[in-house]
Amino acid sequence: MRCVAAALLLFSATALPALADGVPLDLYIGGRVVTKVHEDTSWHIFSQPDNETAYTYQWPGVYFTARFLGDSVDVKVDDDQDNLYLFIDGVHKLTLTRPGRTTVSLKDLGDGRHVVRLEKSSETQSSTGTFDGFYVPSSGDVLPAPVYGRRIEFIGDSYTVGYGNQSRGQVCTVDDVRDTTDTSAAFAPAVAKSFNAAYRILADSGHGIVRNYGGMDPGNTMPVLYNYTLFDKSVPADDAGWTPDVVVIGLGTNDFSTALDSTDFNRNEKWATRDALRADFVATYAAFVNSIRAKYPDAHIILMASTGYDGEILSAVTAVSDTLKAAGLANFELLPFGGLDWMACDGHPSLKDEKILTRLLVDRISLLPKFAPVPMAGTPAAGAPAASGGAPSGQ
């Protein structure tokens, strides 16, 4: 993992005192957050100026981006559990490793327009972090937030999170997993960025459709957690204004990857047989996809399924697909994947595998009309996936 000090030396960005009387930038927020205006300080252990806004997050891959004029910007965070990446104009400037409550000032960026971006790269299942905004010296430095013409939602488990994908092998400690999980390097952000698309990642390691890994945490499966902004289920999801063009769902591994009544957790699970588990999985997954279709009637839905585990996962997801087709559901498809080396922590996809999964999805999504390459006038119909209407405006 990249350390803060190395990034400081390499990019000449410094953790300096905050800009005096800073003005907040308009944000594009990628992911679910709890937004709260600091009208008083009673809700938070740290004081915060009145009327400043804080954004509390927990889902992986949350990001914040904004545009500004001038050569400096302050970044205010309050997060002692996550690793956060800071980008200026698409270039990685800093890694903030569990920084706590701090303000980082990026200076000497050069005159003109800039885009600043903060990404959550790690996974935290039992804690939250808070972003307190980007600030510039004056209101004249504020530009409108980016606007994206394409949107992709990713729903999944540890594969989508990027669990341990920066590791050098499969054997990892708990700390290794924490330090080498990098959602920013996972396939979901890579796919979205190849199309200059906005994205949301709603994924949680160890969770499945009806059964979590080894039978742990029964009842808190992904179709349940999906309805909330925070994992303690204290804040219902508010997806107003978010309408994805594509929804990619990758679930099923945790349902089938361990034996029932696993000795790891000894849960006395409710399914007497694998056939009973499969039947529950197929019915619940089909209902979940139908709920996504009702929520996003025009989205193209892709169901990803691993060919591993003796084909049990792919067989079950294929049954889901067949059930949906028989019921008349359109504009969705099944996308199997395999050929991975699984050399990351605990047999998860490695960085090499992330590239394979990225290419698989990019190739498929590129076939959708809104994501198809659009050639420049007078050139052949070939080129990069980014098309007009897909890039953030003004960048």
Does residue 165 share a domain with residue 313?
yes
Question: Which tens digits make up the pLDDT trace of 56-103?
Answer: 999 999 999 999 999 999 999 999 999 999 999 999 999 999 999 999
Number of structural domains the chain divides into: 2
Does residue 211 share a domain with residue 123?
no
Flag the least confident range among 129-138, 207-216, 359-368, 381-390: 381-390
Total number of residues shown for the chain: 395
Q: What is the pTM of this model?
A: 0.88
Going by their DSSP bridges, the two strands 83-88 and 113-120 should be labelled as antiparallel
- Average pLDDT of the residues in 126-155: 97
Quick one: pLDDT at residue 395?
29
Does residue 213 share a domain with residue 64?
no
Structural domain that includes position 326? 151-371
Residue among 158, 194, 205, 350 flagged as catalytic: 158
387 within some domain: no
Does residue 226 share a domain with residue 334?
yes
182 within some domain: yes
Quick one: pLDDT at residue 126?
94
268 within some domain: yes
Does residue 206 share a domain with residue 119?
no
Residue 51 binned pLDDT confidence (cut-offs 50, 70, 90):
low
Catalytic (active site) residue 350: no
- DSSP assignment string, 142-175: B-PPP--S-EEEEEESHHHHTTTTT-SSS---HH
Residue 381 has pLDDT above 80, yes or no: no
384 within some domain: no
Q: What is the CATH number of the domain that holds 337?
A: 3.40.50.1110
Rounded-to-integer distance, Cα 282 and Cα 88, Å:
44
Does residue 88 share a domain with residue 218?
no
Does residue 225 share a domain with residue 126?
no
Residue 43 binned pLDDT confidence (cut-offs 50, 70, 90):
very low
Does residue 161 share a domain with residue 129?
no
Quick one: pLDDT at residue 262?
62
Does residue 295 share a domain with residue 251?
yes
389 within some domain: no
Q: Among 141, 175, 210, which residue terminates a domain?
A: 141
Does residue 246 share a domain with residue 214?
yes
Residues 6+ positions from 140 with CB-CB distance below 8 Å: 69
Q: Which residues pair with 199 in a beta bridge?
A: 152
Q: Among 93, 120, 141, which residue terminates a domain?
A: 141
Q: What is the CATH number of the domain that holds 131?
A: 2.60.120.260
Q: Which two tokens stand for residue 79?
A: 């997060």
Does residue 135 share a domain with residue 215?
no
Residue 18 has pLDDT above 90, yes or no: no
Torsion (CA) 52, 395, 245, 296 in degrees, nearest 10: 20
Q: Among 112, 141, 170, which residue terminates a domain?
A: 141
173 within some domain: yes
Q: What percent of the chain has pLDDT over 90?
A: 82
Mean pLDDT of the chain: 88
388 within some domain: no
Quick one: pLDDT at residue 232?
96
Cα angle 367-157-326, degrees, rounded to a multiple of 5: 55
Does residue 191 share a domain with residue 90?
no
134 within some domain: yes
Quick one: pLDDT at residue 374?
57
